[in-house]
Structure 1
């Protein structure tokens, strides 16, 4: 007879502690998880802000106390790896262990969720499933029902506790299916004595579609609030405005100036007469908030009705599980001090980051879904947020491989797997010391296959090395194929510049290790792995027009080619719709683009952005503006202008153009 959940809980907690302890032990290691900065985002759209980046020497601000100039962060990737990176710290940012004031998470808790994501394009609506990485992550959460969910969340709660300061709090937003089990877990992780309260968010009313069916109507969710140290936690009392009926019932009197007040009995004097005073309405804080919140309604964000709903509710982003601003405002104001640090590891629509930004708190948010990260980035830009970093997990594949193949895993082991799945035989060790080279011989033609490391971005240097090996290694080869995990955004431009028809560059499926785990090994996956081509971007010649001490830059998009539509998880009908849009209007595939007018080749600093739905540049919600015009301080000599795009599926491409002296 299978064990009940209560019987499984001790094992789940023990395994979760072991997972968390392994991560904590690895923080001092040489190969700890890191974060790659993909973009510095300066949402003000004012190029003078670029001086803030170029003159800022963050290292100089570090001190023994750990104080440093802070930069908010949006992180794409598995939140457990994000936590490991934040706990480890790096050369620019110290470890955040014990530094976080408030954590809010809203982990998925509906095991019957529809994985399909709607992508709206001009004249077409596609139904796409999220990346296989996202699907596996979510299906793993529910593979064995609630037990899998609890196994997923336990090590993460332990790591979150490590991040919290002694005055910090954590709020975990829960559905009715799992709330009681998670409460037991949190008692174990945080201690029963650190339980603060359970908030019931009653978000709706039993009417309309809610009332259908024989069951009572569900109109609430739970939010569990725990502290790191109950007695030292930061807390600020929250007051709600009086309702009109309360005002009319209690503040019945009006003075000569028209101010409403009520009479309060303070006691009796020596003669037994009542002593009263006046409590004025305009001096009253309101009613203290209780643990049942009925005044904040749920947001219904059906993407199909996005434009219509947004006109009624300006905060709607089109993200299905979006939480209202007022909900997070109450949590942040109650449990995070001014300038405190708020973290959300299930960022979703970005409400937590948006509220923290609005209320003057520092923030970090992360999500595994590319659509969520795109929505958050656009939302924060639209809000004119302070400059923030868009980052990704540095060694996702390496960490996934270690989890799959064991901690003794080496990069060469992974390269051997990739070569096998591509159909290549490894070269002899004497010619292949790092085990990343293989060969394919067919119809008398010899092809050299190079598997690049998941530790770095495949770029121009790797391609030139591959060409040199093709021409010289073991007497030369007819062709060379480079298989890469992660690519420099300008890889398309590098391939075009080399113009070598005996070079091919292909993408290793990012979900390869998850598929290996699901299928049970290399042999069962052989013949099912597709290595896709890359996408690329072209722009028209950039113009620089000078006037006095400033210059105007004009950057115009030319073409965007999506070379790997087969890598997108679409059925045949939706794939046909995509091809029609690709052929008729390729720039309509662009979701977001940005310009760095002084690209240093390392960090992309976006000082101008546009995205679908940005009404500041145009009124077209399904297309980006195709031209950027913005002013910058005049610069002598050439400028190295970089343009980066993200398409509706989350793929990135980049092009760099060196522009000579500006013209009057």
Structure 2
């Protein structure tokens, strides 16, 4: 008989601490985790009445601690925040409040429905999300605790000395996490067990009481946390009087008051106007209804929390201008509330839908500019996890070649182990490194290798992890039918870790073609000191549908949309009218659900009118799009002349 959970718990905590310590040791080394800025979002959604000067706000980004939306594993995101980089310093000891709402139901269904014109697709989570989640529950609660422990250790490192953390759970795992937090933060740092009691009903009679509350554990980092006593107004004088069952009196001036017993046996006069001004002190049982799907704040996310819940936490445990973080972002409620309440924020999630919804939500509420970031060299980090910290790139290339069905070339012509060939075809196969970017120059070298390696091959296939943003146009410019470029599944290493061997994975891996966006600039029109840049979307080619986690029926419906109305597949697009090749600064955005311009919730607009300060010299314009599955693509349009 195996060990009970309580017997396993000491080992789980010890291993979690060891894992966190290893990450902390590597913060200064060359193997430290970094964040890659994918977009500087300067909210300015497309509307019929655009704000002329609204988009010129890039100088409002906090140079030390910018607001950030991070896509990727939160363990890596936290490590990167602790490490800092050349542009932004470490956030160690800088965060005032952390609220997390980690998944706590092992049977939760994380499928999402994608509604397209005339079609609803039932999408399962990406394989990356699936493995992240299945690892969490692979051995039940023990796996969950192994997941959360090192993250809690590192979150504590991020907290300021006056900082606090709120961990939102329910009966599935809450009591076990409480034990872990007592160990990591100290029992004396436990401040409150907040009960969130919400209404609900169930038509079926049960054999036990209905479960209608969650638990939120509130811990501080030190014995002197920031805390602002939280008051809420009484709804009326009548509510106050009724609750206390007191009689209302009038004084000589006609002011209402009630009498209460004092400790010395006398009577104390309390004026109702004073009571109304002060409000009622909130205790640790919060009776707040769950979010109604028809509420104005609803963004259609299954586990979305109501803003009123977060307003209490943010008000109580963070000062104005302080930094609030949430590493299980979900629908972005924490960031949305922090923004509205004058706090800075950092939020992250491993789910693409979460990142997409949160970005739209922050644009929709006209947030201050923020960074959209991803984990730099994510595949390298996973390779270290699967193959060991000292893995060699050639070893990984050999794995990729085998999964593609290629045979490695002889050592004397095999450049670093990256070259292979298809056994029954004269096709050269090149597996690139996860820390290399496939560019137009990479493809030209592949063309040369096809002709010069072992007397020449009929075709060459390049397998890539990461691609230059302009790769689609590089492929089009080369116009070489003997060159094929395919995407290595980004979750391949996660799947390999799960399966345990290449042989068990061979039949499941699909290498897909790249997605591709077409757009054009149709004019630059000057109007005094400003100008309007007009951009048209023309076409979008989705990557291979086989790479998307859909059932056969949904995949068939998707193919129909791809053929009949490809631009309907776009979820979001943005324009940078002065792209520097480094950071994409979006000063104009449109997305599905933004009905302020065309009233169509299922399609983006296909024409952008971007108002910017006039510039007499040519512009380098970048158009970036994200489809409904979260895949990105972009177009760079060079040397667009003024007055074009």
Query: TM-score, normalised to structure 1's length?
Result: 0.91
2:191 is aligned, of 193, 196, 200, to 196
Deviation at 1:71, TM superposition (A): 1.4
- Aligned pairs for 1:437-476 (under 5 A) are 437-443=419-425, 445=426, 447-476=427-456
1:363 and 2:345 equivalent?
yes
Which residue of structure 2 aligns with residue 26 of structure 1?
26
Matches within 5 A, 1:644-659: 644-658=624-638
1:62 corresponds in structure 2 to: none
TM-score relative to the length of structure 2: 0.94
Counterpart pick for 1:526 among 486, 491, 506: 506
Find out whether 1:97 has 2:79 as its counterpart: no
Whether 1:238 aligns to 2:230 is yes
1:472-621 pair list within 5 angstroms: 472-621=452-601
Q: Give 1:38 deviation, angstroms.
A: 0.6
SS at match of 1:555: strand
The match for 1:334 is 316
Of stretches 485-494 and 585-594 in structure 1, the one that deviates more from structure 2 is 485-494
Q: Which residue of 2 aligns with 1:420?
A: 402
1:214 positional shift = 3.5
In structure 1, what is the Cα distance between the partners aligned to 2:534 and 2:394? 46
Partner of 2:9: 9
Change (3 A) 1:47 1:531: farther
Partners of 1:637 and 1:204 in 2: how far apart?
A: 61
- Give the C-alpha shift of residue 659 in structure 1: 5.1
Pairing of 1:307-456 with structure 2 (within 5 A)? 309=294, 313-443=295-425, 445=426, 447-456=427-436
Cα separation, partners in 2 of 1:660 and 1:148, compared to 1, 3 Å: closer
Q: SS of the residue aligned with 2:504?
A: helix
Counterpart-to-counterpart distance in 2, 1:134 and 1:200: 30
Q: CA 1:287/1:433 → structure 2, altered by over 3 Å: closer, same or farther? A: same
Q: Structure 1 residue 513: deviation in Å?
A: 1.2
Does 2:215 correspond to 1:219? Answer: no
Inter-partner Cα distance in structure 1 for 2:318 and 2:85: 25
1:183-202 CA deviation, whole Å, 9 max, x = no partner? 00000111111111100000
* Distance (Å, rounded) in 2 between the aligned partners of 1:80 and 1:91: 21
Offset at 1:398? Answer: 1.2
Distance 2:253 2:134 in 1: 64
Question: Alpha-carbon deviations, 1:313-365, whole Å to 9, x = none?
Answer: 11000000000001001001111111111110000000000011011111100
Inter-CA distance 451–253: structure 2 relative to 1 (3 Å threshold):
farther
Shift of the 253–618 alpha-carbon distance from structure 1 to 2, 3 Å rule, reads farther
Summarize deviations over 1:111-141 as a string: whole Å, max 9, x none: 1112321111111111110101101111111
Per-residue CA deviations over 1:29-57 (Å, capped at 9, x if unaligned) read: 1121111111110003567566543x689
1:161 alignment counterpart = 156
CA distance in 2 between partners of 1:428 and 1:662 (Å): 55
Deviation at 1:455, TM superposition (A): 1.6
Give the distance between the partners of 2:224 and 2:180, measured in 1 at CA: 22
Q: 1:479 and 1:254 mapped to 2: Cα distance?
A: 95
Asked if 1:292 corresponds to 2:288, the answer is no
CA distance in structure 2 between the aligned counterparts of 1:20 and 1:615, rounded to whole angstroms: 45
Change (3 A) 1:627 1:240: same
Match for residue 115 of structure 1 among 92, 103, 110: 110
Tell me which moved more, 181-190 or 637-646: 637-646
Q: Which runs of 5+ in 2 are unaligned?
A: 46-50
Q: Distance in 2 between matches of 1:105 and 1:132?
A: 23
Give the Å deviation of 1:619. Answer: 1.3
- Tell me what 2:48 maps to: none
CA distance in 1, matches of 2:296, 2:467: 37
- Cα distance change of structure 1 residues 257 and 458 upon mapping to structure 2, 3 Å threshold: farther
Are the aligned partners of 1:592 and 1:645 in contact in 2 as well (CA < 8 Å)?
yes
Query: 1:73 touches 1:388 (CA, 8 Å); kept in 2?
Result: yes
Partners of 1:478 and 1:510 in 2: how far apart? Answer: 28
> Does the Cα contact within 8 Å between 2:535 and 2:607 map onto a contact in 1?
yes
Q: In the superposition, relative to structure 1, how do residues 47 and 420 fare at CA in structure 2: closer, same or farther (>3 Å)? A: farther
Q: Which moved more, 1:420-429 or 1:185-194?
A: 420-429
2:170 counterpart of 1:175: yes
- Check conservation: 1:36, 1:393, Cα contact below 8 A: yes
Distance 1:519 1:246, change over 3 A: same
Q: Deviations over 1:359-393 (max 9, x none)?
A: 11111000000001100000000010000010111
SS in 2 for 1:384: coil
**Deviations, residues 61-95 of structure 1 (Å, cap 9, x unaligned):** xxxxxxx5431000000000101111111001111
Q: CA offsets, 1:591-630, max 9 Å, x none?
A: 1111111111221110000111112222111111111112
**Aligned alpha-carbon RMSD (Å):** 2.3
1:660 to partner: Cα distance? 3.2
8 Å CA contact 1:267, 1:275 repeated in 2: no
Q: 1:180 to 1:542 in 2, by over 3 A?
A: same
Query: What is the number of residues matched between the two proteins?
Result: 635
The Cα shift of 1:401 comes to: 1.4
Q: Give 3-state SS (helix, strand or coil) of 2:514's partner.
A: coil
In 2, Cα distance between the equivalents of 1:423 and 1:175? 47
The change in CA–CA distance for 1:545 and 1:152 in structure 2 (over 3 A counts) is same
Q: Aligned partners of 1:236 and 1:355: how far apart in 2? A: 17
Q: Distance in 2 between matches of 1:251 and 1:570?
A: 65
Give the Cα separation in 1 of the matches to 2:15 and 2:618. 58
Distance (Å, rounded) in 2 between the aligned partners of 1:32 and 1:251: 67
8 Å CA contact 1:263–1:279 kept in 2: the answer is no
Distance 2:358 2:247 in 1: 44
1:145 aligns with 2:140: yes
1:348 aligned counterpart, secondary structure? coil
Say which is worse superposed, 40-49 or 597-606, in terms of deviation: 40-49
Larger mean CA deviation between 403-412 and 254-263 belongs to: 254-263
Deviation string 1:542-585 (CA, Å, 9 cap, x unpaired) is 31112222111111111111131110111111111111221221
Shift of residue 518, structure 1, vs aligned partner: 2.2
